[in-house]
């Protein structure tokens, strides 16, 4: 456990990828199995279970620290694990007790009964330094972020084993912690693990944003439409449907298995294929809005009622495997032909085939993108352009797939409340609740915490501190004087908000230091932006 | 401490008999800062005033442009170095433990006496004891209780009202021993012998304390300095504080020779163009704020060194107990938690809202 905490400490405070790589290689070389495999899992976020719950941590700390002081500390630190790490009382005699190894800790929690979890956790925390406590709480609640993404970790592992990152990617989702087979293979001691019989996720192909400047004139040859396939960009959840004779599963874009949330969809699948598409609400062949889809997301066990009310389906736009044959090496034009052929024989009403659009020229293409904002297309958020000769590769290859999202909507709102951020922004007032005018009163309509530069954040933070008029716990109410130009993807009805409106992905587009607050938008204007419900 | 109510009554009774006045009757907060009415004096004002008592030389306490200034000799030297002819129009140097009447023209009953007591914060730092009409008020300024060879140790001074800072006034703040933090730096030097260790330090106080802590742990190689730190180190040396061999980075011809050396620079220079000329830099930052991870990240410090010239939470509480003033006024920092805790400990505590102090200066 000591070595693991030290590893995290080094990674957390190191910015350069080169140093991070060196630190991890050093750890892998000097740490025994299965500890190092568990460390990989913790960093890559592939641990399958919480060792203990946040609620337990909170209960334990409140048994030891005054509630008010805890609340004030938490507000300042901005993060539970670190607050607990510092507040936990140091035990009286810490005569260099050796902590159990990482794998002992993981395995102990894995097998522990509920009552034992608490006892074991307290014993560990009592004997740890603040940095070790932080590592344990992060590990146990699976909230570890040390500036090493899963992708970077795979690259580091590839370098460790002198192999290619694609090899690691292809294996990754078929392997499980503590990765003895993977590490054995990387060190040349074992055969390459065989994952062909497992139902696994294949890393998806991603798009770059289309460069509008290049398109609109200066570089006429940027897009030659006859080389590209144009489709709607759907506004749902990117998924990969894997169905093999060994089983079937639905994965998110990042490889999380989300099958349990969509049993209704998987029950209808009885073919052999790996499909790439967008998960949407599809009822009687009609696509529903993102707002409807939202009710299905993050539901671990959706009720029968919910499944019946908001049935989901997939708009399929690509295939990685058809009838057991991998097609990733074929160009898109071929894959599309095979997909259409296969789809023609299919009779699953939850699966729609993404239509191919045929713009004749750039003006036509631009007009199509404009149409994407029409309210009829409430599940469309722009256009996708894919090179007809592109093979299916994981990652984000240059100039193969392009996305062209419609322009965001905008409104001028007034800052009403501010809260401190967390993580890197703790202690900065970086979360802003904003509102618009209704009958001479400001009503809050959303919260934004992005879109500004670090320099602007400092200015906003200073403004908040100087213009605070009241405090409600961690929330500061500010003078109603600062206009924020807020950009957002769409507006929806909401029963949860007093204003009756919910904005999707609001962010600060511009800070209008110059604009008087009474010139901000009114609620009626914002309500007009809500599309008619289909 | 459980009987504060009856003690209040007793105090009121005594003061009515002796005709004494409580400091709340003769101290007030004004836009310029804390003001002692009978003496016509501000304490650490943040706007230019006619008469100012300055507790120590940090820029958020000692500002330029005041007409008349009273401070310890070292604080005056620091102000002179920083502000030259803007430091003051007139000044009085007052050594520790020497009483000074601030308004000798007044009748004896109306006279206010100022005495400085060491605050243990930085060279020359003082607590200001004000005595008037039979009551005693101590303004701590910034202070700490840890060992610090660059300044005189904090002196516990009995009083009726103790005004304390609360820079680190939350129970999450527990500063580790300085040796342990400096040892982290030395260990990093062993692990990365080819890297130039650039340590961010505030020019006044932190810089010299880090140097002395390195020397106490036996590091006797030359320490390399950003130009902005040199004058202040010379000032410390002129006050008899030995810092060992210091070399300006500008005087080093071949910057590659700084590999494996320690370079000190003000925090603003850490991620500045200036540091690009140093070879294979490993960035450290010495500050009490480094205990909080996000703060270290904001500073881009790869090696956070938790070294503070303020009290941590246990020291703040210990000081309240040691000074044992019935009234505690809490200023700049996280007042809320300290007021809450002091009240629980049986003191009459309140926040004293003073604007203009920089929370970052540590």
Nearest to B302 among A14, A78, A423 (CB): A14
Q: Print burial letters for A117-156: b (CB count within 10 Å at least 16), e (below 16).
A: beebbbebbebbebbbbbbbbbbbbeebebebebbbbbbb
- Indicate whether A195 belongs to any domain: no
- Indicate whether A391 belongs to any domain: yes
User: In the predicted model, is pLDDT for residue A374 greater than 80?
Assistant: no
Same-domain check for residues A40 and A104: yes
Ramachandran angles phi, psi of B186, nearest 5°: -65, -35
pLDDT digits (tens, 9 = 90+) for A421-465: 766 676 688 999 999 999 999 999 999 999 998 889 989 998 998
Same-domain check for residues A250 and A379: yes
- Indicate whether A202 belongs to any domain: no
* Domain boundary residue, one of A140, A169, A184: A140
Nearest to A13 among B173, B302, B336 (CB): B302
Give me Rg for the CA atoms of chain A: 26
User: In the predicted model, is pLDDT for residue A92 greater than 70?
Assistant: no
* Domain boundary residue, one of A87, A109, A140: A140
ipTM over the 0.85 cut-off: yes
Residue A187 CA to residue A284 CA, distance in Å, equals 54
Task: Report the candidate in B166, B148, B198, B155 with the shortest Cα–Cα distance to residue B300.
Answer: B198
pLDDT digits (tens, 9 = 90+) for B51-89: 999 999 999 999 999 999 999 999 999 999 999 999 999
Ramachandran angles phi, psi of B324, nearest 5°: 55, 40
Which percentage of chain B shows pLDDT scores above 90?
80
Per-domain residue ranges of chain B: 4-172+310-351, 178-305
pLDDT band at A534; cut points 50, 70, 90: very low
**Contact between chains at A15 and B302 (C-beta distance less than 8 A):** yes
Same-domain check for residues A512 and A453: yes
A364 three-state secondary structure: helix
| Nearest chain A residue (CA) to B333 | A76
Catalytic positions of A are 233
CA distance A256 to chain B (A): 28
* Burial group, residue B19, by CB count within 10 angstroms (0-12, 13-18, 19+): exposed
pLDDT digits (tens, 9 = 90+) for B243-259: 999 999 999 999 999 99
CATH label of the domain that carries residue A523: 2.40.50.140
CA distance A282 to chain B (A): 44
3-state SS string for A131-158: HHHHHHHHHHCCCCCCCCCHHHHHHHHH
Query: At CA A117, angle to CA A114 and CA A120, rounded to 5?
Result: 150
Q: What pLDDT sits at residue B122?
A: 97
Same-domain check for residues A26 and A79: yes
Q: What pLDDT sits at residue A528?
A: 86
3-state SS string for B220-255: CCCEEECHHHHHHHHHHHHCCCCCCCEEEHHHCCCH
Same-domain check for residues A275 and A381: yes
Per the prediction, chain A carries an average pLDDT of 89
Same-domain check for residues A396 and A438: no
Residue B303 CA to residue A231 CA, distance in Å, equals 50
Residue A331 CA to residue A205 CA, distance in Å, equals 13
Same-domain check for residues A509 and A389: no
User: In the predicted model, is pLDDT for residue A33 greater than 80?
Assistant: yes
**Contact between chains at A13 and B334 (C-beta distance less than 8 A):** no
A14 contacts chain B (CB < 8 A):
yes
Same-domain check for residues A387 and A281: yes
**Contact between chains at A13 and B296 (C-beta distance less than 8 A):** yes
Same-domain check for residues A382 and A438: no
CB B307 within 8 A of CB B206: yes
**Contact between chains at A86 and B172 (C-beta distance less than 8 A):** yes
Number of folded domains in chain A? Answer: 3
Q: What pLDDT sits at residue B1?
A: 43
Q: What pLDDT sits at residue A394?
A: 85
Nearest to A13 among B174, B304, B340 (CB): B304
Long-range pairs of A294-302 with CB within 8 A, sequence gap ≥ 24: A296/A261, A296/A262, A297/A237, A297/A261, A298/A261, A299/A261, A300/A260, A300/A261, A301/A260, A302/A261, A302/A262, A302/A263, A302/A264
A87 contacts chain B (CB < 8 A):
yes
Task: Report the candidate in A534, A529, A482 with the shortest Cα–Cα distance to residue A501.
Answer: A529
Give me Rg for the CA atoms of chain B: 22
Q: Which of A14, A23, A71, A76 to mutate to test the interface with B (most CBs of B within 10 A)?
A: A76
Residues in contact with A160: Cβ distance below 8 Å, sequence separation at least 6, in sequence order: A24, A25, A28, A186
- Indicate whether A199 belongs to any domain: no
CATH label of the domain that carries residue A330: 3.30.470.30
Which residue is it, tokens 């070292």?
B74
Task: Report the candidate in B246, B251, B226 with the shortest Cα–Cα distance to residue B236.
Answer: B246
A76 contacts chain B (CB < 8 A):
yes
Residue A77 CA to residue A84 CA, distance in Å, equals 10
- Indicate whether A190 belongs to any domain: no
User: In the predicted model, is pLDDT for residue A64 greater than 70?
Assistant: yes
- Indicate whether A493 belongs to any domain: yes
| Nearest chain A residue (CA) to B305 | A13
Q: Please state whether the peptide bond connecting residue A178 to the residue before it is cis, i.e. omega within 30 degrees of 0.
A: yes
A66: domain range? 2-140
Total CB pairs under 8 A between chain A and B: 63
**Contact between chains at A65 and B340 (C-beta distance less than 8 A):** no
Residue B111 CA to residue A333 CA, distance in Å, equals 95
A462 three-state secondary structure: helix
- Indicate whether A157 belongs to any domain: no
Residue A411 CA to residue A448 CA, distance in Å, equals 13
Same-domain check for residues A350 and A440: no
Same-domain check for residues A464 and A389: no
3-state DSSP helix/strand/coil percent for chain A, to nearest 5? Answer: 35, 25, 40
User: In the predicted model, is pLDDT for residue A126 greater than 60?
Assistant: yes
Average pLDDT over residues A188-201: 86
**Contact between chains at B293 and A12 (C-beta distance less than 8 A):** yes
**Contact between chains at A86 and B293 (C-beta distance less than 8 A):** no
Task: Report the candidate in B232, B207, B198, B226 with the shortest Cα–Cα distance to residue B302.
Answer: B198
A83 contacts chain B (CB < 8 A):
yes
| Nearest chain B residue (CA) to A90 | B174
| Nearest chain A residue (CA) to B344 | A66
H/E stretch holding A435 reads strand A429-438
Q: Which of B176, B292, B317 to mutate to test the interface with A (most CBs of A within 10 A)?
A: B292
Residue A14 CA to residue B302 CA, distance in Å, equals 5
pLDDT digits (tens, 9 = 90+) for B207-220: 999 999 999 999 99
Contacts of A422 in chain B (CB under 8 A): 294
- Indicate whether A162 belongs to any domain: no
CA distance A456 to chain B (A): 15
| Nearest chain B residue (CA) to A129 | B176
CB A88 within 8 A of CB A133: yes
pLDDT digits (tens, 9 = 90+) for B323-342: 999 999 999 878 899 999 99
CATH label of the domain that carries residue A102: 1.10.3260.10
**Contact between chains at B301 and A87 (C-beta distance less than 8 A):** no
Residue B257 CA to residue B274 CA, distance in Å, equals 16
Residue B110 CA to residue B36 CA, distance in Å, equals 12
pLDDT band at A375; cut points 50, 70, 90: low
Token code pair at residue A402 = 């392009």
Top-level class of domain B178-305: alpha beta
Average pLDDT over residues A36-58: 92
Measured CA to CA in angstroms, residue A518 lies from A203, A438, A501, A510, A530 at distances of 50, 11, 20, 17, 23
Please report, for chain B, how many H helices and E strands are present, in that order: 8, 19
* Domain boundary residue, one of A83, A115, A140: A140
Same-domain check for residues A239 and A332: yes
Residues of B at the A interface, defined by Cβ within 8 angstroms: 170-174, 291-298, 300-304, 334, 336-337, 340-341, 344
Q: Which CATH architecture does the domain made up of B4-172+310-351 adopt?
A: 4-Layer Sandwich (3.60)
H/E stretch holding A280 reads strand A273-283
């Amino acid at each position: 456990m000591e070595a693991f905490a030290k590893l995290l400490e080094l990674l957390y405070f190191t910015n350069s990828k080169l140093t991070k790589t060196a630190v991890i290689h050093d750890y892998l070389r000097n740490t025994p199995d299965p500890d190092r495999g568990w460390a990989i899992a913790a960093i890559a976020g592939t641990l399958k279970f919480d060792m203990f719950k946040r609620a337990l941590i909170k209960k334990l700390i409140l048994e030891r620290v005054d509630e008010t002081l805890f609340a004030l500390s938490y507000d300042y630190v901005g993060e539970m694990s670190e607050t607990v790490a510092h507040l936990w009382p140091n035990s009286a005699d810490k005569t260099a007790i050796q902590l159990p190894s990482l794998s002992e800790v993981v395995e102990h929690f894995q097998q522990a009964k509920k009552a034992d979890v608490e006892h074991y956790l307290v014993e560990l925390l009592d004997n740890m330094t603040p940095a070790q406590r932080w590592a344990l709480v992060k590990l146990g609640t699976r909230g570890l972020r040390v500036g090493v993404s899963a992708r970077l970790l795979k690259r580091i592992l590839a370098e460790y084993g002198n192999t290619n990152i694609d090899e690691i990617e292809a294996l990754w989702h078929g392997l499980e912690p503590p990765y003895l087979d993977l590490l054995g293979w990387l060190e040349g001691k074992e055969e390459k693990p065989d994952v062909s019989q497992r139902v696994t996720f294949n890393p998806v192909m991603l798009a770059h944003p289309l460069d509008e400047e290049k398109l609109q004139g200066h570089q006429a040859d940027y897009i030659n439409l006859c080389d590209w396939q144009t489709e709607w960009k759907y506004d749902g959840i990117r998924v990969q449907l894997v169905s093999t004779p060994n089983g079937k599963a639905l994965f998110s874009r990042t490889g999380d298995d989300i099958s349990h949330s969509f049993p209704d969809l998987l029950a209808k699948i009885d073919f052999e294929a790996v499909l790439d598409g967008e998960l949407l609400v599809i009822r009687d062949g009609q696509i529903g809005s993102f707002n409807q889809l939202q009710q299905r997301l993050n539901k671990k066990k959706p009720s029968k009622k919910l499944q019946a009310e908001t049935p989901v389906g997939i708009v399929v736009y690509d295939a990685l495997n058809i009838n057991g044959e991998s097609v990733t090496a074929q160009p898109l034009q071929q894959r599309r032909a095979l997909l259409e052929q296969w789809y023609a024989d299919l009779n699953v009403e939850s699966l729609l085939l993404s239509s191919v659009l045929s713009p004749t020229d750039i003006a036509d293409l631009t007009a199509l993108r404009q149409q994407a904002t029409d309210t009829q297309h409430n599940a469309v958020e722009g256009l996708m352009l894919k090179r007809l000769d592109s093979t299916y590769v994981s990652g984000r290859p240059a100039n193969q797939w392009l996305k062209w999202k419609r322009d965001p909507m905008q409104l001028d709102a007034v800052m009403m409340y501010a809260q401190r951020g967390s993580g890197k922004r703790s202690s900065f007032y970086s979360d802003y609740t904003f509102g618009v005018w209704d009958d001479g009163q400001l009503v809050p309509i959303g919260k934004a915490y992005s879109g500004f530069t670090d320099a602007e954040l400092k200015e906003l933070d200073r403004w908040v501190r100087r213009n605070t008029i009241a405090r409600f716990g961690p929330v500061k109410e500010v003078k109603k004087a600062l206009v924020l130009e807020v950009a957002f993807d769409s507006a929806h009805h909401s029963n949860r908000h007093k204003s009756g409106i919910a904005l999707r992905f609001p962010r600060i587009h511009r800070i209008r230091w110059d604009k008087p607050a009474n010139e901000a938008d009114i609620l009626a204007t914002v309500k007009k932006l809500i599309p008619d419900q289909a | 401490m459980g009987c504060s109510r009856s003690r209040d009554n007793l105090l009121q009774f005594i003061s009515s008999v002796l005709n004494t006045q409580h400091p709340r009757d003769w101290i007030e907060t004004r836009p310029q800062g804390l003001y002692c009415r009978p003496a016509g004096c501000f304490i650490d004002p943040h706007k230019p005033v006619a008469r100012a008592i300055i507790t120590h030389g940090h820029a958020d306490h000692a500002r330029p442009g005041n007409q008349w200034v009273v401070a310890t000799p070292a604080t005056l030297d620091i102000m002179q170095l920083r502000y030259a002819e803007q430091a003051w129009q007139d000044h009085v140097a007052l050594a520790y433990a020497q009483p000074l009447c601030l308004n000798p023209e007044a009748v004896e009953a109306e006279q206010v006496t100022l005495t400085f007591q060491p605050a243990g914060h930085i060279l020359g730092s003082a607590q200001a004891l004000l005595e008037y009409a039979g009551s005693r008020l101590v303004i701590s300024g910034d202070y700490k209780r840890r060992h610090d060879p660059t300044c005189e140790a904090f002196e516990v001074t009995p009083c009726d009202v103790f005004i304390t800072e609360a820079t680190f006034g939350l129970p999450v703040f527990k500063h580790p021993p300085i040796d342990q933090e400096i040892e982290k730096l030395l260990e990093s030097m062993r692990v990365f012998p080819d890297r130039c260790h650039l340590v961010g330090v505030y020019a006044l106080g932190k810089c010299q304390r880090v140097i002395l802590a390195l020397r106490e742990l036996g590091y006797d190689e030359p320490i390399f300095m950003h130009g902005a730190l040199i004058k202040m180190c010379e000032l410390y040396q002129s006050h008899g504080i030995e810092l060992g061999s210091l070399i300006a980075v500008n005087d080093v011809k071949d910057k590659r020779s700084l590999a494996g050396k320690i370079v000190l620079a003000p925090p603003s220079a850490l991620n500045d163009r200036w540091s690009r000329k140093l070879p294979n830099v490993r960035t450290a930052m010495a500050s009490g704020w480094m205990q909080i991870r996000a703060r270290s990240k904001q500073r881009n410090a790869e090696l956070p060194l938790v070294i503070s010239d303020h009290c941590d939470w246990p020291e703040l509480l210990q000081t309240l107990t040691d000074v044992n003033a019935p009234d505690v006024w809490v200023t700049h920092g996280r007042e809320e938690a300290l007021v809450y805790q002091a009240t629980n400990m049986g003191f009459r505590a309140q926040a004293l809202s003073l604007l203009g102090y920089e929370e970052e200066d540590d």
